[in-house]
């Protein structure tokens, strides 16, 4: 692909996505404050910029994947914006509140640049395999320009509408996902209190309308086989549902279930689970209740060896 592309933010999601771009032939320049992450992506053919400003001057399309609103404002408005070349295109894939997205987009457009919000769905496992989902807020022409690049990182690219809509869809998506995870954890904890066999329990739940992605896949790949290393951290789940609730407050929209889920996440964080996978909400619950943690039969057999 004959274009100069930059990527800033090589964390748990950003590093595998950037690595896939580089492996698939994109002329990529990367920057992150962690040099080891840059070196890792450079191993797949990317160039390393010394600063975000250097990357901005060298690249016509720049992707950012950053932890939250303060970092998005700082990196894009302070480190990139003063150094961008004419009519640059910035694609922010971070999960932030709508007003941050709108502010950044308006600041870029005011001086002749273009902006896309393209937050990411699915987990790090999918990112590593190049199977992410992107929710894209973009003008039609910009969407067409960036789609081939998104396809090097994902299998599902959905144009949600004009700039700002990708972020808003992501907030709704994560509100549902995080709420499901807490609900599932409570259901599986109830099953543990009843002394149920978790394999049988899941067979029933996944055969009815009770099923959801976490019951069908997430819990079975993580905590129910004894693994709560992230994945997607409880701290990030708390951040994302807080964004949804704060946005709803600004819109005078009550989210009573969401408020309960946020406080449940906060309990888990207070008890030391913030850095663990969010399926670890189950571990937190059974630990508080003094219950034996449920495991799939295959995991129990492995542990017994």
Q: What is the CATH number of the domain that holds 30?
A: 3.40.50.720
Is 24 a residue of the active site? no
**From the candidates 15, 24, 129, 170, which is the catalytic residue?**
170
Cα torsion 183, 189, 195, 197 to 10°: value is 60
* Half-sphere exposure of residue 99: CA atoms within 13 angstroms, side-chain side: 8
* Half-sphere exposure of residue 123: CA atoms within 13 angstroms, side-chain side: 19
Q: What digits encode the pLDDT tens for the residues 215-266?
A: 999 999 999 999 999 989 999 999 999 999 999 999 999 999 999 999 999 9
Contacts of 178 (CB under 8 A, 6+ apart): 237, 240, 241, 261, 265, 278
Q: What digits encode the pLDDT tens for the residues 261-295?
A: 999 999 999 999 999 999 999 999 999 999 999 99
CA 200/CA 179 separation, integer angstroms:
23
Residue 305 is predicted with a pLDDT of 60
Does 69 lie in the same domain as 28? yes
Does 217 lie in the same domain as 156? no
Length of the chain: 305
Does 38 lie in the same domain as 115? yes
Residue after which a domain boundary falls, among 163, 197, 231: 163
Q: The CATH number of the domain where 177 resides is what?
A: 1.10.1040.10
Residue after which a domain boundary falls, among 136, 163, 190: 163
Does 128 lie in the same domain as 190? no
Domain count, the chain: 2
Does 182 lie in the same domain as 41? no
Does 296 lie in the same domain as 174? yes
DSSP 141-193: HHHHHHHHHHTTTEEEEEEEESTTHHHHHHHHHHHHHHHHHHHHHHHHHHHHH
CA 68/CA 66 separation, integer angstroms:
6
Does 279 lie in the same domain as 139? no
Does 218 lie in the same domain as 108? no
Which helix or strand (DSSP H or E) is residue 30 part of? strand 28-31
Chain center to CA of 55: 23
Does 217 lie in the same domain as 105? no
Domain that holds residue 64: 5-163
Does 186 lie in the same domain as 112? no
Does 152 lie in the same domain as 9? yes
Q: Identify whether the C-beta of residue 115 lies closer than 8 Å to the C-beta of residue 109.
A: yes
Provide the whole-model pTM: 0.92
Does 132 lie in the same domain as 173? no
Residue after which a domain boundary falls, among 110, 144, 163: 163
For residues 90-102, give the mean pLDDT.
97
Per-residue confidence band for 104, with pLDDT thresholds at 50, 70 and 90:
very high
């Amino acid at each position: 692909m004959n274009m100069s592309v930059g990527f800033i933010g090589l964390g748990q999601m950003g590093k595998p996505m950037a690595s896939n771009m580089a492996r698939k032939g994109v002329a990529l320049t990367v920057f992150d404050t962690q040099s080891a992450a840059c070196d890792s992506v450079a191993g797949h053919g990317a160039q390393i910029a010394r600063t975000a400003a250097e990357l901005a001057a060298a690249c016509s399309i720049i992707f950012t994947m950053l932890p939250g609103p303060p970092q998005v404002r700082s990196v894009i408005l302070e480190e990139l914006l003063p150094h961008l070349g004419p009519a640059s295109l910035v694609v922010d894939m971070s999960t932030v509140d709508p007003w941050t997205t709108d502010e950044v987009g308006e600041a870029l457009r005011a001086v002749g640049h273009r902006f896309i919000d393209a937050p990411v769905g699915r987990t790090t496992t999918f990112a590593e395999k190049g199977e992410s989902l992107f929710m894209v807020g973009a003008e039609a022409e910009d969407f067409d320009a960036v789609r081939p690049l998104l396809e090097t990182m994902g299998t599902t690219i959905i144009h949600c509408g004009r700039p700002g809509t990708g972020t808003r869809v992501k907030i709704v998506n994560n509100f549902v996902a995080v709420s499901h995870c807490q609900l599932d954890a409570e259901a599986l904890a109830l099953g543990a209190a009843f002394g149920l066999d978790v394999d049988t329990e899941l067979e029933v739940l996944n055969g009815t309308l009770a099923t959801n992605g976490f019951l069908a896949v997430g819990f079975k790949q993580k905590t129910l086989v004894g693994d709560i290393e992230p994945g997607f951290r409880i701290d990030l789940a708390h951040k994302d549902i807080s964004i949804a609730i704060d946005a709803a407050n600004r819109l005078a929209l009550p989210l009573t279930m969401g408020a309960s889920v946020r406080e449940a996440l906060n309990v888990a964080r207070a008890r030391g689970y913030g850095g663990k996978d969010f399926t670890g909400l189950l571990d937190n619950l059974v630990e508080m209740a003094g219950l034996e943690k449920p495991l799939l039969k295959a995991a129990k057999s492995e542990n017994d060896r």
